[in-house]
């Protein structure tokens, strides 16, 4: 027997089931939120239409009324994650005027890192979608607008987007992969590694571990903002070099290599 594709028929539409029970009425946003929660708990590899249907109390086939396939579901999940990122355009009416682009980009980067820590499955896939959702596109458009409004030429805008996101997403993946997530755990791991190092070998590693990792208050996550500021310092120098070269349409602004020059 074929399944009806008409609204109101079958599971997930509010119709009565075979046992006379009212099945839950679903929306696309409910399906996406449940998928995000399932991926948060068990990882993206555990996400399937069957498990998602079980979580929502419906048959897996009923989910296809709301998402075309698993790729469409992933697109929706990524868009939901983008909705949690801090907006590049602040609530104070920040429009990216020259002088505040750095603060905007920094706040956005810190927000993205926080959200990716909340959704550890998202870092490898959040920029992989061939069909980005409306929230993702609006976010990217606003961020580009901040940089262009500050005077960044298009090539330098591209460099900025690439290097900042590479740093933020790379740090998120690294942070997730580390074998420790607390100071106590990092101390335990470091001491175990040091105990296995033969006396006199790997002196630089031993010094680093003892003088840095094993010091009270060590937090690998604290490296994030230090590195972020280093990235932003480089962008600031590159931006200044385009202004020093003349108008935004000048050679430095329109060239392929707008990064800092070695002296």
CATH code of the domain in which 186 resides: 1.10.357.10
Label residue 42 left, alpha or beta by phi (over 0 means left) and psi (-120 to 50 means alpha).
alpha
User: Greater confidence, 38 or 87?
Assistant: 38
Mean pLDDT, the chain, rounded, equals 85
Same domain, 161 and 76: yes
Structure tokens at 184: 């106590």
Same domain, 240 and 163: yes
Which of 106-120, 136-150, 177-191 is predicted with the least confidence, judged by mean pLDDT?
Answer: 177-191
Same domain, 79 and 40: no
Question: 206 in a domain, yes or no?
Answer: yes
Which of 45-59, 98-112, 137-151 is predicted with the least confidence, judged by mean pLDDT?
Answer: 98-112
Q: What is the pLDDT of residue 243?
A: 85
- pLDDT bin (cut points 50, 70, 90) of residue 245 is low
Q: What is the pLDDT of residue 3?
A: 42
Confidence check: pLDDT of 6 > 50: no
Same domain, 49 and 136: no
Q: What is the pLDDT of residue 140?
A: 95
Question: 76 in a domain, yes or no?
Answer: yes
Nearest to 123 by CA among 111, 113, 131, 132: 113
Same domain, 84 and 143: yes
> DSSP letter at 250?
S
What is the chain's alpha carbon radius of gyration, rounded to the nearest angstrom? 24
Same domain, 125 and 216: yes
Cβ atoms of 153 and 254 within 8 Å: the answer is yes
> DSSP letter at 65?
G
The count of domains in the chain is 2
Total-model pTM: 0.78
Q: What is the pLDDT of residue 258?
A: 44
Question: 17 in a domain, yes or no?
Answer: no
Q: What is the pLDDT of residue 254?
A: 44
Q: What is the pLDDT of residue 23?
A: 61
Cβ atoms of 36 and 80 within 8 Å: the answer is yes
Confidence check: pLDDT of 9 > 60: no
Query: Taking residues 235-263, what's their average pLDDT?
Result: 61
- Boundaries of domain holding 37: 26-67
Nearest to 159 by CA among 254, 262, 263: 254
Same domain, 57 and 81: no
What is the per-residue pLDDT across 87-96, written as a single tens digit (0 to 9) for each? Answer: 887 544 444 4
Query: Taking residues 35-39, what's their average pLDDT?
Result: 98
Confidence check: pLDDT of 207 > 50: yes
Same domain, 37 and 73: no
Q: What is the pLDDT of residue 111?
A: 96
DSSP secondary structure string, 88-157? SS-TT-----TTSHHHHHHHHHHHHHHHHHHSTTTTTTTT--SS--HHHHHHHHHHHHHHHHHT--HHHH
Which of 73-87, 90-104, 118-132, 183-197 is predicted with the least confidence, judged by mean pLDDT?
Answer: 90-104
Q: How much of the chain, in percent, has pLDDT values that exceed 70? A: 80
Confidence check: pLDDT of 230 > 70: yes
Q: What is the pLDDT of residue 24?
A: 64
Q: Write the CATH number for 41.
A: 1.10.10.60
Helix (H) or strand (E) holding 52: helix 49-56
What is the per-residue pLDDT across 152-198, written as a single tens digit (0 to 9) for each? Answer: 999 999 999 999 999 999 999 999 888 888 889 999 999 999 999 99
Confidence check: pLDDT of 102 > 70: yes
Cβ atoms of 242 and 260 within 8 Å: the answer is no
- pLDDT bin (cut points 50, 70, 90) of residue 22 is low
Question: 252 in a domain, yes or no?
Answer: no
Question: 102 in a domain, yes or no?
Answer: yes
Same domain, 124 and 59: no
Residues with Cβ within 8 Å of residue 160, at least 6 apart in sequence: 105, 147, 152, 235
Same domain, 83 and 140: yes
Same domain, 113 and 166: yes
Cβ atoms of 108 and 86 within 8 Å: the answer is yes
Q: What is the pLDDT of residue 145?
A: 97
Question: 257 in a domain, yes or no?
Answer: no
């Amino acid at each position: 027997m074929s399944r009806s594709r008409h609204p109101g028929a079958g599971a997930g539409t509010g119709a009565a089931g075979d046992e006379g029970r009212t099945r839950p009425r679903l929306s696309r946003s409910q399906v996406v939120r449940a998928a995000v929660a399932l991926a948060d708990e068990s990882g993206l590899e555990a996400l399937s239409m069957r498990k998602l249907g079980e979580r929502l109390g419906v048959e897996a086939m009923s989910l296809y009324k709301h998402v075309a396939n698993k790729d469409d579901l992933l697109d929706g999940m990524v868009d939901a994650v983008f909705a949690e990122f801090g907006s590049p355009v602040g609530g104070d009416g920040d429009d990216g005027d020259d002088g505040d682009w750095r603060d905007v980009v920094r706040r956005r980067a810190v927000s993205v890192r926080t959200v990716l820590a909340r959704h550890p499955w998202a870092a490898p896939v959040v920029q992989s979608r061939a069909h980005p959702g409306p929230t993702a596109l609006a976010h990217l458009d606003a961020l580009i607008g901040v940089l262009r409004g500050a005077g960044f030429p298009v090539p330098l805008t591209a460099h900025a987007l690439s290097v900042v996101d590479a740093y933020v997403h790379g740090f998120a993946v690294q942070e997730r992969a580390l074998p420790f997530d607390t100071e106590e755990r990092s101390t335990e791991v470091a001491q175990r590694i040091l105990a296995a190092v033969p006396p006199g070998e790997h002196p630089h590693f031993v010094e680093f571990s003892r003088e840095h990792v094993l010091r009270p208050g060590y937090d690998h996550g604290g490296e994030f903002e230090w590195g972020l500021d280093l990235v932003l310092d480089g962008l600031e120098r590159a931006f200044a070099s385009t202004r020093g070269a003349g108008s935004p349409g000048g050679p430095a602004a329109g060239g392929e290599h707008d990064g800092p020059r070695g002296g």
